């Protein structure tokens, strides 16, 4: 035998090549799966699955994948180009000290960040409890009856408040009064949103504006953007007298000390929970809070966590009123919000739990005291004065002509202040501010020889002078009295509380979450690491652009990669969810059509299979939705589409189409569909949430579409966070590029100046773009394509294996599916009475999260394995589904009654096993239906939860103290 030739460096793959780690199946497993499909190679499978007409002529022009070490090194280089100045800019974004026990055990913990939205509450009690705490904290601090479990940001929360007030008020008026002392980005977003709702937004002094014509609502801010703390109660009263309802933007930390807007009669109170332990991150992600009156609960946007009971009568949590969700309300929806900010809401609620009422008061009092000392020093100077006599954490200093000189001095010392007009400066303090910082601020404002001392002033200023907050605006009622906010103040207790909740929740750390239309792929550890670096975490979104070179480079490079991947010309990073992307894309279409004299076009064609956010987004830009039918194969009925496009050709604005379709197949006719729309004067919006079956094989821009959003929290590896964060950037062809969102505070090069903002910050939740950048850089052009191919392989392998036991609803050419498949449970249900929900719950007993249930077709399960699941995990799922099919057969045959079988009584908890057992099946059958579970078992913490009971007995606050005594 010859000695083997030594490998050359070139022939050895890099030992750290990421692609192999990202993919679930290894080469041998893939070979085996291909064999079962009767394919020789991955190439032949793809050739037989993806229509020739949409295939890319050439590979993606992206560099080869980097190793994990290289990616971290490159990102370190970018981070070094961000300058972490001490920020006093404020405007809704503050420095905060993330408690390390929360940083490490929540933000950096896949048990928390890889979970899905808690649609399956039996395996989500942990984050449901954390979100309930978030609601309770919001209710306490705002003084309102009801709160939701987060919105996307403060500015979009303001827009949601506006539309809620309109729905709640019987007034015919379309006029909406906005106080001119709101954060400018909030006003910007409200104006954008108002335009197509047909509201007239008037900005100015609310008392004067209310004296005029009737208005349906008023928007106030408390404290004002530049810091003034004023009594808004008279304004609220005036508004109510004038038949207008009132929404108040509020600051969570100030509310610890201030009389609550709820007590003053506000109808809605909202704001950002960022400063409760969530880093600024150049704009996000952070949770917005939103609170209102109990009577508006059914028209409130976003998710509300409520209490219910499980099958044994034990209390349990779940998302209340799920029927309000936009996928059911569709074009009647009043908001398109879907993904919110669950992970960040959890962090903020844990911050409140950890500090408790006493700790929060200490933080808030300290901020107030430091602000008062700073104010006192400024008042003592001859050259400067304060705009307001009352403050919490923010001062507006009149500096006259010195503005630019002072700003320059600040920048020199690594300090950012907020320019207000051309003669004032805003200074916002926060929990990180120290005495030395105050002295530095004085020297920036007054010169090094200011002669002031914090210690002297602190000792000498009288209570009255230091007040800041007028006595009548001091909060008198207690806050956060609930036990949960008073128990976990040592780190040991906190750690165990976090772990206890985490252990109730199913995440990707436990097993596959095979959610059709939601791509739950690997969120690699390396991709998550840069998030915690101060150079990405501690940057204010309105920091001067010359301080954020690293972020701008990251955004440019990610945009370039997404342009190459999608075939579009330009990408906007502003939308911070998929639904926001849809909204931004439809706005671009509308504004473009207006610019060419076709503003009357308002018909939006949407196939019946579309995701519910599509019609909801269309409604938000005042488009009329016309539904296009699908044929038996689940494809868009092209004849129906053509007929409807032609009927509406004078008024056709656009088509919204999902590709591959929400039915999980590559439609052959998609190019023709785009041509029909264009021929009738419309634009094509391609919902790109499902890019996982396209990247590297096809491009929306190539197929003929004009605009798409991409869900970076699906295809591009941002974790789902248990219901957010997300990022939904949109790609557009060049004719739409001038109509992308701009930003009033931080203008963006490219879009027209008059384009409004759709998010509070110019690049949305910018800090999590590091994840998608890293994902693309790690895989490179080849790796991205390979990921898509393996996603298709995994889906087809699963389809093939399951089809012997369950009917598969739709298939494309050669009987192939794209990246997901729908199995039809209706025939089984007819024969056995067992429903898709029973199967979903039973899967929990096998250690799986259910697939997507009853969307887009009622009575079905939509399964998407993604490329990250190995054959071993797919086989485990198949084994579970086959075993479940066997169980259904025993119900069908009458061996088990419909009331007493392991399916309808699923999921099973540990508590089920103790005490008497009088069921038709054994304990073993209940909890160890397959042998592998004895080695590793995830235990659901609740039995089946009763949704109807919860909606009838609606409670969305923490359980009363009494219930703890039981
Ligand atoms: C997930 C999804 C959306 C909505 O995205 P969000 O980020 O939840 O707003 C829209 N369309 C499709 C097809 C989706 O799968």
The model's pLDDT over 657-694, given as tens digits with 9 standing for 90+, comes to: 999 988 888 999 999 999 999 999 999 999 998 899 99
What are the C-alpha distances in Å from 891 to residues 526, 805, 839, 894, 895? 47, 15, 13, 5, 6
8 A C-beta contact, residue 374 and residue 457: no
Distinct helix (H) and strand (E) counts, the chain: 35, 25
Q: How far apart are CA 18 and CA 501, in angstroms?
A: 32
Q: How far apart are CA 372 and CA 467, in angstroms?
A: 7
CATH 3.40.640.10 fits 532-777, yes or no: yes
The label of the residue with tokens 């209710």 reads 139
**Ligand 1 centroid distance, CA of 894 (Å):** 41
CATH of region 128-354: 3.40.640.10
Encode pLDDT of 74-101 as tens digits. Answer: 999 999 999 999 999 999 999 999 999 9
CA angle 894-896-902, nearest 5°? 145
Q: How far apart are CA 514 and CA 512, in angstroms?
A: 6
Q: How far apart are CA 795 and CA 497, in angstroms?
A: 38
Say if pTM beats, i.e. exceeds, 0.95: yes
8 A C-beta contact, residue 169 and residue 244: yes
Tokens describing residue 378: 């400024």
Residue 195 has pLDDT above 90, yes or no: yes
Comparing C-alpha atoms, which of 679, 674, 629, 671 is closest to residue 649? 679
**Ligand 1 centroid distance, CA of 713 (Å):** 10
Residue 964 has pLDDT above 60, yes or no: no
Encode pLDDT of 688-720 as tens digits. Answer: 988 999 999 999 999 999 999 999 999 999 999
Tokens describing residue 204: 């100015």
Which has the higher per-residue pLDDT, 678 or 966?
678
pLDDT category at 963 given cuts 50, 70, 90 is low
**Ligand 1 centroid distance, CA of 15 (Å):** 36
Q: How far apart are CA 636 and CA 945, in angstroms?
A: 37
List, in sequence order, the alpha helices (H) in 515-597: 525-528, 534-537, 549-566, 578-595
- Give me the pLDDT at residue 951, please: 82
- Give me the pLDDT at residue 466, please: 62
Decide: 690 in ligand 1 pocket, CB within 6 A: yes
Q: How far apart are CA 508 and CA 112, in angstroms?
A: 9
**Ligand 1 centroid distance, CA of 90 (Å):** 32
- The half-sphere exposure of 665 on its side-chain side, counting CA atoms within 13 A, is 25
* Best mutation site among 152, 711, 712, 758 for ligand 1 pocket (most ligand atoms within 8 Å of CB): 711
Three-state secondary structure call for residue 678: helix
8 A C-beta contact, residue 390 and residue 228: yes
Decide: 611 in ligand 1 pocket, CB within 6 A: yes
Residue 609 has pLDDT above 90, yes or no: no
Instruction: Calculate what percentage of the chain has a pLDDT beyond 70.
Output: 97
What is the overall mean pLDDT for the chain? 95
Nearest CA to ligand 1 atom 14: 689
Decide: 517 in ligand 1 pocket, CB within 6 A: yes
Q: How far apart are CA 319 and CA 331, in angstroms?
A: 22
Decide: 609 in ligand 1 pocket, CB within 6 A: no
8 A C-beta contact, residue 644 and residue 605: yes
What are the C-alpha distances in Å from 265 to residues 144, 181, 182, 232, 235? 9, 20, 19, 10, 10
8 A C-beta contact, residue 282 and residue 761: yes
8 A C-beta contact, residue 539 and residue 281: yes
| CATH class (in words) of the domain with range 787-950 | alpha beta
Three-state secondary structure call for residue 62: coil
8 A C-beta contact, residue 96 and residue 431: yes
The label of the residue with tokens 């909606």 reads 951
Three-state secondary structure call for residue 270: strand
Tokens describing residue 701: 């821009």
Comparing C-alpha atoms, which of 501, 503, 477, 528 is closest to residue 350? 501
Q: How far apart are CA 658 and CA 49, in angstroms?
A: 17
- Give me the pLDDT at residue 966, please: 42
Residues written for the chain: 966
Nearest CA to ligand 1 atom 8: 339
Q: 176: which strand partners?
A: 201, 217
Encode pLDDT of 211-221 as tens digits. Answer: 989 999 999 99
pLDDT category at 104 given cuts 50, 70, 90 is very high
Comparing C-alpha atoms, which of 757, 614, 761 is closest to residue 194? 757
Let me know if the fold of 532-777 is the same as that of 787-950: no
8 A C-beta contact, residue 753 and residue 742: yes
* Cis-peptide into 660, omega within 30 deg: yes
Tokens describing residue 203: 């900005």
Which helix (H) or strand (E) covers residue 193, if one does? helix 184-197
What are the sequence ranges of the domains in the chain? 128-354, 532-777, 787-950
Q: How far apart are CA 448 and CA 431, in angstroms?
A: 25
**Ligand 1 centroid distance, CA of 385 (Å):** 50
- 3-state per-residue secondary structure call for 875-894: HHHHHHHHHHHHHHHHHHCC
What backbone torsions phi and psi does residue 673 show, to the nearest 5 degrees? -60, -45
- Give me the pLDDT at residue 702, please: 96
**Ligand 1 centroid distance, CA of 675 (Å):** 25
Encode pLDDT of 243-274 as tens digits. Answer: 999 999 999 999 999 999 999 999 999 999 99
Closest approach atom of ligand 1 to CA 713? 7
Cα distance from N-terminal residue to C-terminal residue, the chain: 79
Please enumerate in sequence order all residues whose Cβ is within 8 A of that of 357, keeping only pairs 6 or more positions apart, or say none: 478, 479, 480, 481, 485, 486
Tokens describing residue 110: 């896949």
CA angle 855-860-862, nearest 5°? 65
Q: How far apart are CA 131 and CA 348, in angstroms?
A: 10
Decide: 683 in ligand 1 pocket, CB within 6 A: no
CA 491 distance to own-chain centroid: 29
Closest approach atom of ligand 1 to CA 658? 13
Decide: 726 in ligand 1 pocket, CB within 6 A: yes
Q: How far apart are CA 696 and CA 819, in angstroms?
A: 14
* Best mutation site among 578, 660, 723, 730 for ligand 1 pocket (most ligand atoms within 8 Å of CB): 578
**Ligand 1 centroid distance, CA of 840 (Å):** 21
What backbone torsions phi and psi does residue 423 show, to the nearest 5 degrees? -135, 10
What backbone torsions phi and psi does residue 134 show, to the nearest 5 degrees? -60, -45
Residue 517 has pLDDT above 50, yes or no: yes
**Ligand 1 centroid distance, CA of 582 (Å):** 9
* Best mutation site among 153, 284, 339 for ligand 1 pocket (most ligand atoms within 8 Å of CB): 339
Nearest CA to ligand 1 atom 6: 578
CA angle 504-507-512, nearest 5°? 130
Q: How many of the other CB atoms lie within 10 Å of CB of 58?
A: 5
233, 236, 242, 243: CA torsion to nearest 10: -140
Decide: 674 in ligand 1 pocket, CB within 6 A: no
Encode pLDDT of 315-359 as tens digits. Answer: 999 999 765 554 556 777 778 999 999 999 999 999 999 999 999
8 A C-beta contact, residue 867 and residue 794: yes
Instruction: Tell me the pairing of strands 146-147 and 175-179.
Output: unpaired
pLDDT category at 965 given cuts 50, 70, 90 is very low
* Best mutation site among 584, 659, 689, 721 for ligand 1 pocket (most ligand atoms within 8 Å of CB): 689
Decide: 761 in ligand 1 pocket, CB within 6 A: no
Q: How far apart are CA 506 and CA 848, in angstroms?
A: 8
- Give me the pLDDT at residue 32, please: 98
Q: How far apart are CA 531 and CA 529, in angstroms?
A: 5
What's the rounded mean pLDDT across residues 493-514? 98
């Amino acid at each position: 035998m010859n000695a083997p030739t030594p490998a050359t460096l070139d022939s050895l793959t890099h030992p750290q090549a990421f692609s192999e780690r990202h993919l679930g199946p290894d080469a041998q497993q893939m070979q085996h799966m291909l064999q079962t499909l009767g394919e020789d190679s991955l190439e032949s499978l793809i050739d037989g699955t993806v229509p020739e007409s949409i295939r890319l002529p050439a590979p993606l022009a992206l560099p080869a994948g980097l190793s994990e070490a290289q990616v971290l090194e490159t990102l370190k280089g970018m981070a070094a180009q961000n300058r972490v100045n001490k920020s006093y800019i404020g405007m809704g974004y503050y420095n905060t000290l993330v408690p390390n026990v929360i940083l490490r055990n929540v933000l950096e913990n896949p048990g928390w960040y890889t979970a899905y939205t808690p649609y399956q509450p039996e395996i989500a009690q942990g984050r449901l409890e954390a979100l309930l705490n978030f609601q309770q904290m919001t209710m306490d601090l705002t003084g309102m009856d009801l709160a939701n479990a987060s919105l996307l940001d403060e500015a979009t929360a303001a827009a949601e408040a506006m539309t809620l007030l309109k729905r709640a008020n019987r007034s015919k008026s379309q006029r909406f009064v906005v106080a001119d002392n709101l954060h400018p980005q909030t006003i910007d977003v409200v104006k954008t949103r108002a335009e197509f709702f047909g509201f007239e937004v008037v900005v100015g002094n609310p008392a004067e504006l209310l004296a005029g014509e009737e208005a349906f609502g008023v928007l106030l801010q408390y404290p004002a953007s530049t810091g003034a703390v004023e009594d808004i109660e008279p304004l609220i009263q005036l508004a109510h007298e004038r038949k207008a309802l009132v929404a108040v933007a509020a600051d969570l930390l100030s509310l610890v000390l201030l009389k609550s807007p709820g007590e003053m009669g506000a109808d809605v109170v909202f704001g950002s929970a960022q400063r409760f332990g969530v880093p600024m991150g150049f704009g996000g992600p952070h949770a917005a809070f939103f609170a209102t009156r109990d009577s508006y609960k059914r028209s409130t946007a976003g998710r509300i966590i409520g209490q219910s009971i499980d099958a044994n009568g034990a209390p349990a949590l779940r998302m209340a009123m799920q029927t309000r969700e936009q996928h059911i309300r569709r074009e009647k929806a009043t908001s398109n919000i879907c993904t919110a900010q669950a992970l960040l809401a959890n962090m903020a609620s844990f911050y409140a739990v950890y500090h408790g009422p006493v700790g929060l008061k200490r933080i808030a009092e300290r901020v107030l005291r430091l602000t008062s000392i700073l104010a006192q020093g400024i008042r003592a100077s001859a050259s400067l004065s304060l705009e307001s006599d009352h403050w919490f954490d923010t001062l507006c200093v009149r500096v006259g002509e010195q503005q630019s000189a002072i700003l320059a001095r600040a920048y020199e010392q690594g300090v950012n202040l907020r320019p207000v007009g051309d003669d004032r400066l805003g200074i916002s303090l926060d929990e990180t501010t120290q005495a030395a910082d105050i002295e530095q601020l004085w020297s920036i404002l007054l010169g090094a020889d200011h002669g002031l001392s914090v210690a002297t002033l602190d000792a000498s200023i009288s209570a009255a002078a230091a007040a800041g907050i007028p006595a009548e605006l001091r909060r008198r009622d207690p806050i956060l009295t609930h036990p949960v906010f008073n128990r976990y103040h040592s780190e040991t207790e906190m750690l165990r509380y976090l772990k206890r909740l985490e252990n109730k929740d199913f995440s990707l750390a436990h097993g596959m979450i095979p959610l059709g239309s939601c791509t739950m792929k690997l969120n690699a550890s390396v991709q998550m690491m840069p998030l915690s670096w101060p150079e990405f975490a501690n940057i204010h979104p309105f920091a001067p652009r010359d301080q954020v070179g690293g972020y701008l480079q990251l955004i440019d490079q990610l945009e370039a990669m997404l342009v190459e991947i999608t075939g579009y010309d330009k990408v906007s990073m502003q939308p911070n969810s998929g639904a926001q992307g849809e909204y931004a894309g439809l706005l671009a279409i509308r504004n473009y059509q207006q610019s060419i004299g076709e503003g009357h076009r308002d018909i939006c064609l949407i196939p019946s299979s579309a995701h519910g956010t599509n019609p909801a987004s269309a409604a938000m830009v005042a488009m009329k939705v016309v539904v296009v039918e699908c044929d038996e194969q689940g494809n868009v009925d092209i004849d129906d589409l053509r007929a409807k496009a032609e009927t509406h050709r004078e008024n056709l604005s656009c088509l919204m189409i999902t590709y591959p379709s929400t039915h999980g197949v590559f439609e052959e006719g998609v190019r023709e569909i785009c041509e029909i729309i264009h021929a009738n004067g419309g634009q094509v919006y391609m919902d790109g949430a499902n890019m996982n079956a396209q990247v590297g094989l096809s491009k929306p821009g190539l197929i003929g579409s004009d605009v798409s959003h991409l869900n970076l929290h699906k295809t591009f590896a941002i974790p789902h966070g248990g219901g957010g964060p997300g990022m939904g950037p949109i790609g557009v062809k060049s004719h739409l590029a001038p109509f992308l969102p701009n930003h009033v505070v931080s203008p963006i090069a490219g879009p027209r100046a008059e384009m409004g903002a759709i998010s509070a910050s110019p690049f949305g939740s910018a800090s999590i773009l590091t994840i998608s950048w890293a994902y693309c850089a790690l895989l490179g052009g080849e790796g991205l394509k390979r990921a898509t191919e393996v996603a298709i392989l995994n889906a087809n392998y699963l389809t093939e294996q399951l089809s012997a036991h369950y009917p598969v609803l739709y298939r494309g050419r050669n009987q192939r599916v794209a990246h997901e498949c729908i199995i039809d449970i209706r025939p089984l249900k007819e024969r056995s009475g067992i429903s898709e929900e029973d199967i979903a719950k039973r899967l929990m007993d096998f250690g799986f999260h259910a697939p997507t249930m009853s969307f887009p077709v009622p009575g079905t399960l939509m399964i998407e394995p993604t490329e990250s699941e190995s054959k071993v995990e797919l086989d485990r799922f198949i084994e579970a589904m086959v075993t479940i099919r066997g169980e259904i057969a025993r119900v069908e045959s009458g061996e088990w009654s419909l009331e007493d079988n392991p399916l309808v009584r699923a999921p099973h908890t540990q508590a089920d096993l103790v005490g008497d057992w009088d069921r038709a099946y054994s304990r073993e059958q209940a909890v160890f239906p397959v042998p592998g579970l004895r080695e590793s078992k995830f235990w659901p913490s609740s039995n089946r939860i009763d949704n109807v009971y919860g909606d009838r007995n609606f409670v969305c606050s923490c359980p009363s103290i009494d219930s703890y005594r039981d």
